[in-house]
A and B are shown apart, each in its own frame.
Chain A
């Protein structure tokens, strides 16, 4: 089953839409769903032109496609557990919050908090991701616990903050403080990063670009050859300022 949601022109296109109801499981029983536009509750059909192709009895078989101006639509895929969401353009904040299964593919850019506190599933962002990609929310000490986030462009600041499990792969560069407070999982940055992994407790972070303003609280313990990439990495342990036992690897 394929559900295509194409945005209609809105009177106030800058008002954010809270669309946590857009997950495949909810479309098993039709499209009578509501979203909030600002503080007004709207029917899904007020915001989108809805096209449904085929039927499905399980959420795994449902694919949702979002088209049009979707850059102000927040919380798409929150608590999603199965199925697929494809976003043809940009997506608003908090896409894939707490998701535990299924796939999300963003063809454009994603705003902040992409895949925050994710438990499982896959997110692929073909453009750039905003700040706090794959991180924990304010005050939360256990961020992403499982699954995989892949960003083909760059990510903003505090990417993979409080990463506890799963894998985060950024093909471009990260902003400031990537992987701070990491407690587990694997974090790979193909590009550059600034001040990475402060207060890291555990987990592995690999940076293949240039590290700016490397923190002095990491202890160099040797080198490791990555046979698959044919490169040598310098291995650091830390953050020793806070008894951390994480591994930070930086390409020589």
Chain B
């Protein structure tokens, strides 16, 4: 018998010992970061960067496969007891000696996760991790000239790149309201002092928003540069238009942070994605009834919110609990009770 087959036999036996739980349920008690466990990380330190941004140092579990500079990682954090998932750019270089990774988080107004991470997260806390992903990365062949065009927290993936790979000729244009809002400002200025970076800071509180036409003046040879841009949608839209206008859209690489503006309204178009049906629903009819009326096979139970026999994944959109008025937004892994939830906007129910 091969060693792999032997191991799987041994594991089966172990499962018989721990049934109905799994051996991993017990192993998680002592070693949540071991190889083979669900990927997790432990927060080891939280370093403030500005008044509303902080860098989180994470020790990833053994299953972490590393990242490429510029990529992001999804993390699951328990905020007020509820697990919430968000994506953040990795800001550490890929060759960090201690194997830790860092993300840098800017607290956005009413942001549940970002405020928790910046202001309340404690070293020692376990978080859930996904493998790093994203194609906002540097090419294998080094370009001769590079431009980084960033604004606000859009600097984070670019900082991962700056720390990771040195280029001969790098220019950065970064926008932030005031000097003290520039994340990593000291480190950037050190790079400038070492002649490793040419930096232009645009302080939007005094200078106003960056007009993309000013690029000719700020970076006269911008058209010769391979450009990576990350920031608010307005800046990125303008940049894409500008690069297209000059006939070189392929030289511009853009990272857009997920626009998560959900406005809860009353009713909306409901898609049952498995069945492939789409119907209009009002804000008062339970999604269970909406589905059944549309001929979708819906799991059901007590029809009054007590038995949890109707829970179904909410793939996209937003729903309202008809009893409490509470709003639930779609996130990976979110299940809703269809018998007491109504559409609060367009939504996608996995049935």
Q: Do A and B come from one complex?
A: no
- Chain A residues close to B by CB (< 8 Å): none
- Chain B residues close to A by CB (< 8 Å): none
